[in-house]
Amino acid sequence: MGKYIELNKENFDSIAKKGIAVVDFWAPWCGPCRMLAPVIDELAEEYEGKVAICKVNTDEQVDISAQYGIRSIPTIIFMKNGEIVDQVIGATSKQALKEKIDSIIQ
């Protein structure tokens, strides 16, 4: 069963900058973030072994959030080999996220 990866300053580079990664910047108090959480869980299961589905708690990982210029949450960045190739700000549908992931995989 796939599970998203909780990123912090110790593991961010080794996980998010290799291959394809989807990184959800969120916070526990954020309503739209909580609405998106089940979608992130489902994506982690569906893309297990192909894409690293990750989360960064912006309250706990202030440095990472600042490094990537996160001003609104949820913000989801799509990375390929360490480069940001796409980004979504705000809650969105699972289908929209899948389309972006699938376009990066190909």
Options 30, 39, 44, 79, the catalytic residue: 30
Predicted TM-score (pTM) of the model is 0.95
Our answer to whether residue 54 is catalytic in this structure is: no
Our answer to whether residue 30 is catalytic in this structure is: yes
**Over 70: is that where the pLDDT of 1 sits?**
no
Q: Tens of pLDDT along 19-41?
A: 999 999 999 999 999 999 999 99
Looking at per-residue confidence, does 21 or 1 come out higher? Answer: 21
Q: 3-class DSSP state for residue 43?
A: helix
CA angle 14, 98, 51 (to 5 degrees): 20
In 3D space, the residue among 45, 42, 51, 50 whose CA is nearest the CA of residue 23 turns out to be 51
Options 33, 73, 77, 97, the catalytic residue: 33
Q: How confident is the model at residue 106 (pLDDT cuts 50, 70, 90)?
A: confident
d(CA 18, CA 63): 20
Q: Tens of pLDDT along 36-77?
A: 999 999 999 999 999 999 999 999 999 999 999 999 999 999
